[in-house]
Amino acid sequence: MMQSGKLPLHLLEKVLKKYSIIDPTVLLGPEIGEDAAVIDPGKESKNFWVVTSDPITFTTEEIGYYGVVVNLNDIATRGATPKYFLATLLFPERGSEEKTILKIFRQIYNACRHFNLSFVGGHTEITPGLDRIILSGHMIGAVKKGKLVQTGGAKPGDLLLMAKGVCIEGTSIIAREKEKELLGKGFSSLFLKRAKHFIFHPGIDVLQVAQIATRSAKIHSMHDPTEGGVINGIVEMAIASEKEFEVDLKDVFVYKESKILCAEFGLDPLRTIASGSLLLTLSPKDLPSLERAFKRASIPLRVIGRVRQGRARALAVEGKKKKMLNPVSRDEILKIFLG
């Protein structure tokens, strides 16, 4: 049996190369690290279409909001504006009352309204064999031709930066899924309320930070780390860009609440689901303008590494030593569900 989590990269690469069907209008199809496809609708259009799909499987509370935002992030990291959302919702036979279904649709509606999206369809059913709700979201956006940003756009000499911190999504999931247990261990309700609220503040969306970045500087690549945390995000950028990434993990900003909750359950915050942070690369000469823009918006921004010419890999720099960063096949958050 295979472990829960993402497919191993070698297997994913094998199936994508063997079974993808691409026509000439597809500018960017399925590739490791590239979370949204890009389609050229033709010369008559000033925009490219950007299309993505992402599920929510770790949590059920606020699942409608999660579903909208994780798909929105994939569109935003293309430098694009998200426009249309679809959702496939699978409800278990036990516990799926009408009020639960109405609550999730309300969450989707409110999230779409907040981010100025149109909720245009999908599929909903009661599915045998499930023990929790599954939401699979799909989103379409648009980006002006000439403004497209890819995960694989990093260039030798670029700085690697992280906007906001880690692990925002993981912190909220732990607090929501383990609230009773944590209260029993003496955690205050105020602390847990703050941690649960992480999905809204600092927030699991990267739309604002991506827009600030692309308005303020020439961004070569962007990626939002999700499953496998910031480690997987960096590895995926290196693979997609076919470059060597060097990162000082001590420079990665981890929120205080994240450190506390991850430590309680033996999780590594750098390998825990990380929606809400944004990885990006740019030329060093463009750093000052980017830093000014993020300072005005009061959003944390840190240089955490560099991009070098070399084979596609990510290296952690520890003083004078360098250590290979291997991709995470099983996100740390699964420990709280599976042990």
pLDDT at 311 over 90: yes
| CATH number listed for the domain at residues 151-338 | 3.90.650.10
pLDDT at 230 over 70: yes
How confident is the model at residue 236, as a pLDDT?
Answer: 95
| pTM metric for this prediction | 0.92
User: Percent of the chain at pLDDT above 90?
Assistant: 83
Segment 30-49 mean pLDDT:
93
How confident is the model at residue 339, as a pLDDT?
Answer: 60
How do residues 325-335 score in pLDDT, each as one tens digit?
999 888 999 99
How do residues 178-216 score in pLDDT, each as one tens digit?
999 999 999 999 999 999 999 999 999 999 999 999 999
Average pLDDT of every residue of the chain: 94
| CATH number listed for the domain at residues 9-144 | 3.30.1330.10
How confident is the model at residue 195, as a pLDDT?
Answer: 97
CA distances from residue 277 to 22, 258, 299 in whole angstroms, order as listed: 31, 13, 11
How confident is the model at residue 39, as a pLDDT?
Answer: 97
User: Percent of the chain at pLDDT above 70?
Assistant: 99
The CATH 3.30.1330.10 portion of the chain extends over 9-144
Segment 255-260 mean pLDDT:
97
The CATH 3.90.650.10 portion of the chain extends over 151-338
